[in-house]
Structure 1
Amino acid sequence: MAAGIYPNTPKYDSYDVVIVGGAIYGASISWWLTEMSGFDGRILVVERDASYALCSTVHTNSCIRQQFSRPINIHISQFGAEFVNNFKDFMGNDERVPDLVLQNFGYLYLADTPEFAQTLETVQRLQVSEGAGTRHMSAAELAAQYPFYQLDDILAANHNTLNEGYFDGGTLFDWWKKSGRERGVEYIENEVVALGCSAAGDRVETVTLKSGEVLTCGVVVNASGPRAAQTAAMAGIDIPVEPRKRYTYIFAAEHPLDCDLPLTIDPSGVHFRSDGQYYMAGSPPEPEDDVAVLPDDFIADHSLWENKVWPAIANRVPQFEAIKLVNSWVGHYAYNTFDQNAVIGRHPRVGNFIFANGFSGHGLQQSPALGRGVAELITYSEYRSLDLASFGFDRIENNESFDEKAVI
């Protein structure tokens, strides 16, 4: 989307809902609000950069999985897969809307220790009990199905090809924005620089824009991605969400595989999968470098590919010893340092301040269900489709971790 496509100035001086951030969650929540029976309020989405050049959404790898360690995260992704598979239906059967295709080659987790193999077996049983199609596989079973892997150090694996893989997340994002705007959602290219709270500190009363306008509001939604802590601080709230770098690489193989490559999570921390005629790999920085960065820090560590990513790929798939790097980029996770799970819902004291933060790399795949949930909360003061109470901010204040172990 080109810069300047949104106006800079809001049409009104009062809104029922002001959403701070117009990337995937600003788009999802605002679109879902237009779907809610009984909601007819004004919605303003404030996006600081309408080009979206540096936002997490455009740097996503557009993957979805059901291999989580928490039942609610499994259910969230199951609805995400339902939404993708029935995208046109959900978008009102608009003839302009394309079908989305979910490429179901699945995630493949590899275990190289008895402890991790046992963990995979435990979570596989949980996932199957919640309706996922995850298989727990021995190294021999994996070798029989995918003979191109080098498995000398691998004891077991989990794999699921049922509603698990990747899809065109950009199309989903674009149509939420387009459809929402056609239904009356107002987007502006501006920046929220201050939130004015009541004397009692129990609600946000005003939103101040960088251009000087001061708006009154009914509800404020923090959908600021890696900048979530900065937005929360304007309301006097601390939230443990920070930007963390994640690297993506596109490579070509001199000797391509004769079948799709599952999204393979190697014990090294490197993951890789098919991506059309190419392959995609991803990696966090080295552990000592995986720390908070500034929201505008997208400086790449070019040694990571040579020293970590390429060696891990070539070790796991010897056929990939001859590969050529085609493209690469740095993106940010909005990383919840507390328990790597989303923070969703109202603040317990600032009652009209709503979180949609801390997705720790799961944001795009969770956006259909969590956007719907936030819209339900705003409209009906309760969750009606999935109970998202476990993601509430109060767990952070009470130091009650709701951790998600399956984080890549």
Structure 2
Amino acid sequence: MLRCRGWSPLAAAAAAAASSSSSPSSRERRADLLDLPPDEADVVIIGGGIMGWSIAYWLKKNDTEQDMTVLVVEKDPSDYLLVAGDPPIDIQFNPSGYLFLASEEGAAVLEHNVRIQREEGAKVSLLSPEQLKKKYPWMRTDDVALASCGMENEGWFDPWTLLLAFQKKAKSLGVIEYCGEVTSFGMTSREVTTFEGQRAHLSHIRKVHIKIPNSPNTFSVAPGMVVNAAGAWSGSVAEMASIETGEPGTKSVYKLPVEPRKRYVYVFHCPAGPGLACPVVIDTTGAYFRREGLGGNYIAGCSPTEEEEPDIQDLEVDHGFFQENVWPKLAQRVPNFESLKVKSSWAGYYDYNTFDQNGVIGQHPFVRNLYFATGFSGHGLQHSPTVGLAMSELILDGKYKTIDLNVLSFDRILNGKKALERNII
């Protein structure tokens, strides 16, 4: 199990093979001929989304002392043919502040959040209803008690191109990608007694079994470490490691409280809308909207209540949800949004953490070579660069160095201590 910088059995084997012969090993030839992953990998990352590729990139970037093998397994990848020497990828960043609106009930929380942001160096302004109306005359403000607006380094960008950038760079550093579905783990375990006198099972993942595409067969990889970055499906991956409620009287490994939740995004056209003056607006109702391009188009959405949660079996968009739950909130905040036309829409999955809606990051306390980077509940895109860096530090050095993310560890689930954020969309 690779815990810190130093000798790696995989790196040592590779060095020995290289010194004895310049030709590839039979295992390497077999993998090439059959398009199979390697038999062994220092780190197997399950999930080829933005989080998985960020972790892969940072691992290889920071791996200065050994030839670490990093394998990313994704069951449904979108492949890109990239040519060395391509220009830097433009992620189409649009600078624009985030405008949070608070009612009387939420004003104190908003003020508290802004104070923390300012202490961390963020330039954020507080606006009274009068200041808000003067700055954004197209907005109805009579039910707003306070607003906050980011003054710099905020905006939006194309998430697909950011993922592509991480993927391209990680591959150039030697990360291996394999298209296949992880179906099970080969585990070993032993029973121990905790300081509290409870029984607990310490487990170790010895094999990652991957289904070969277009074949009934599976292929096994022996991992040093496994990172569960499977997004909305990470709960199912965790269950493969027997991470679920245990028997009474045992200190259980507990279930990973992450499940898929379907969310809708709507694109509408409103020529009389706020135009270039429109920031990212997070309404008191929980609805959000922002400008999309320069042609009078906008993006909007709103999370449903628990009772309204849609079926996750498909990615069909419910346009009735826009008519009944989103449009009235938009028109209440921006009267000109009374007249709009929905042009397109899409649906996607959140990796929703039912425990506290925040990410689960780091090592599992009882499955010792299993790590998590999941449960971000819609914020994984923003968090991915930092989480990737932090995970690389934890895996390579055994601890966080740049930013301490222990508050988001799996231990908080064991201890029932929620890490709640009060400034979310």
Q: Under a length normalisation based on structure 1, what TM-score does the superposition of the two structures give?
A: 0.84
Per the TM alignment, residue 45 of structure 1 is displaced from its structure 2 partner at its CA by 0.7
Alignment match of 2:232 (pick from 226, 239, 243): 226
Q: Residue type matched to 2:97 in 1? A: G
Do 2:231 and 2:375's aligned partners in 1 also have CA atoms closer than 8 Å?
A: yes
Looking at structure 2, the residues matched to 305 and 136 of structure 1 have their Cα atoms a distance apart, in angstroms, of 30
Please say if residues 346 and 392 of structure 1, whose CA atoms lie closer than 8 Å, have aligned partners that are also in contact: yes
Find the residue that maps to 1:244 and give its secondary structure.
Answer: strand
Summarize the Cα distance change of 1:11–1:124 in structure 2 as closer, same or farther, 3 Å threshold.
closer
Cα deviation for residue 301 of structure 1 reads: 2.0
Contact kept, 8 Å, 1:109 with 1:266, in 2: the verdict is yes
The separation in 1 between residues aligned to 2:137 and 2:273, in whole angstroms, is 14
Secondary structure at the residue paired with 1:333? strand
The number of residues matched between the two structures is 360
User: What is aligned with 1:210?
Assistant: 211
Is 2:144 the partner of 1:154?
A: yes
Q: Distance in 2 between matches of 1:323 and 1:115?
A: 31
CA shift at 1:169, angstroms?
A: 2.1
Task: Give 1:115 deviation, angstroms.
Answer: 2.1
* Residue 80 (structure 1) aligns with: none
Q: CA deviation at 1:285?
A: 2.4
Is 2:161 the partner of 1:140?
Answer: no
Aligned pair in 2 of structure 1 residues 254, 9: CA closer, same or farther (>3 Å)? Answer: same
Secondary structure, counterpart of 1:267 in structure 2: coil
Distance 1:258 1:180, change over 3 A: closer
8 Å CA contact 2:363–2:372 kept in 1: the answer is yes
Asked if the contact 2:113–2:423 (Cα under 8 Å) also holds between the matched residues in 1, the reply is no
What code does the residue aligned with 1:206 have?
K
- The code of the aligned residue for 1:162 comes to E
| In 1: Cα distance, 2:123 partner to 2:34 partner | 47
The residue aligned with 2:73 is 46
Question: Is 1:187 equivalent to 2:177 in the alignment?
Answer: yes
1:215 Cα shift?
Answer: 1.4
The one of 377, 385, 390 equivalent to 1:360 is 377
Matched to 1:242, the amino acid is: E
| Partner Cα separation in structure 2 for residue 13 and residue 329 of structure 1 | 39
The answer to whether structure 1 residue 168 and structure 2 residue 195 are counterparts is: no
| Superposed CA offset, 1:232-251 (max 9, x none) | 11111110011112110111
**1:289 paired to 2:308:** yes
One-letter amino acid of the structure 2 residue matched with residue 96 of structure 1: P
Structure 2 length as normaliser, TM-score? 0.80
> Does 1:340 find its partner at 2:357?
yes
The answer to whether structure 1 residue 14 and structure 2 residue 40 are counterparts is yes
Name the CA shift for 1:398/1:7 in 2 (closer, same or farther; >3 Å): farther
Counterpart in the other structure of 1:196: 186
Give SS of 1:216's match.
strand
Judge conservation of contact 2:109–2:422 (CA < 8 Å) in 1. Answer: no
| 1:384 counterpart (401, 410, 425) | 401
C-alpha distance in 2 between matches for 1:127 and 1:251: 32
- Contact kept, 8 Å, 1:34 with 1:180, in 2: the verdict is yes
Contact 2:110 2:423 in 1 (8 A): no
1:33 is matched by which residue type in structure 2?
L
- Secondary structure in 2 matching 1:220: strand
Is the contact between residue 289 and residue 298 of structure 2 (CA under 8 Å) also seen in structure 1? yes
Give 1:99 shift.
4.5
How far apart are residue 183 of structure 1 and its match?
1.9
Offset at residue 206 of structure 1 (A)? 0.5
Give the corresponding residue for 1:309. 326
Q: Give the alignment partner of residue 54 of structure 2, picking from 19, 22, 28.
A: 28
Offset at 1:11? 3.7
Change in Cα spacing, 1:296 to 1:384, as seen in structure 2 (3 Å) is farther
Question: Aligned match of 1:111 in 102, 115, 119?
Answer: 102
> In 2, distance between residues paired with 1:225 and 1:365?
14
Shift in alpha-carbon separation, 1:265–1:100, aligned structure 2, 3 A: same
Instruction: Decide which moves more: 161-170 or 7-16.
Output: 7-16
Q: Give the greater-gyration-radius structure (CA).
A: 2
SS in 1 for 2:57: helix
Render the CA deviation track for 1:260-292: whole Å, top value 9, x for unaligned: 3111111222100011132110111244123xx
Any conservation in 1 of the 2:44–2:73 contact (CA below 8 Å)? yes
- The 3 A distance-change label for structure 1 pair 122 and 358 is same
Contact 1:250/1:280, CA 8 A, preserved across alignment: yes
Alignment correspondent of 2:8: none
Task: Note closer, same or farther for the CA distance 1:323–1:208 as it changes in structure 2 (3 Å cut).
Answer: same
CA deviation string 1:279-326 (max 9, x = no partner): 110111244123xx7764323222111112112112211122221111
Quick one: which amino acid aligns to residue 308 of structure 2? D
Task: Pick the aligned partner of 1:255 from 269, 272, 275.
Answer: 272
Partner residue of 1:375 out of 392, 397, 411? 392
Q: Is the partner of 1:194 in helix, strand or coil?
A: strand
Change (3 A) 1:175 1:258: closer
Structure 2 stretches lacking a partner, 5+ long: 1-31, 80-84, 191-201, 213-217, 244-254
SS of the aligned residue for 2:106 comes to: helix
Matched position secondary structure for 1:284: coil
Gaps of 5+ in 1: 1-5, 53-93
C-alpha separation in 1, matches of 2:34 and 2:120: 46
Q: In 2, distance between residues paired with 1:258 and 1:395?
A: 44
Return the letter of the residue paired with 1:311. P
For the 8 Å contact 2:136–2:277, the answer to whether it is kept is no
Tell me the SS of whatever aligns to 2:277: coil
How many Å separate the matches in 2 of 1:183 and 1:191? 24
Partners of 2:404 and 2:332 lie apart in 1 by 43
